[in-house]
Amino acid sequence: MLWDDFQTNTGRIIHKWEHYFPAYEEMFSSFRNKTITFLEIGCGSGGSLQMWRRYFGPLSVIVGIDINPSCMEFEEHGIHVRIGDQSDPVFLAQVVEEFGVPDIVLDDGSHIMKHVNASFDFFYPKLSMNSIYMVEDLHTAYWEDFGGGLHSEFSFINRTKQMIDLLNAHHSRGTVPITEFNKTTYSMHIYDSIVAFRKGRGRKYQPMIGAAD
């Protein structure tokens, strides 16, 4: 459905990879036609903000943030744009104060690792249960000019690998610490150039005995 919208778009230009759309549908479809706040980091040419508004429906509030002041022209009914640095916690706090904690964050911003990490560090702990945090265009995590690299400690892909261990900390027999990430993350989803997180309440692991046949 979202792919059809993309293909028939007659509004502002949308810059998205084709293979992202199944990931969007998988992660976002349950939020359609509900009262939600969707925040996209990076406004591009403004078309994606319009696409998300059409997709999520009239009850949604779409917020775009960008460092480019000209993006303010993308504002329209149901779509809000705020200008600032995605790595600036003071600016991000102002956005949250104005619009509330978003239900979905999609990072399509600078794709520079220090910015990606800073935005995640600010928003993710604040998200409520069942919220989604998605980072796209993570091929840049392998590029040194974006602060990444295959073995870079700043690569968000390498950080994601560490968070997989954190997600499974309960099973590690004490070798992986229990953290807030473990307690509040239900699942992680890895796609080509995308990592998505679904918040969820901490799980209690108790031995279960199945019923007899």
Q: What are phi and psi of 118, to 5 degrees?
A: -65, -45
Q: Of 21, 42, 33, 83, nearest to 60 (Cα)? A: 33
| Apex 109 CA angle, 104 and 115, nearest 5 | 100
Which residues are tagged catalytic?
111
User: Half-sphere exposure of 93 toward its Cβ, with a 13 Å CA cutoff?
Assistant: 3
Q: Which of 36, 1, 47, 42 is nearest to 22 (CA)?
A: 1
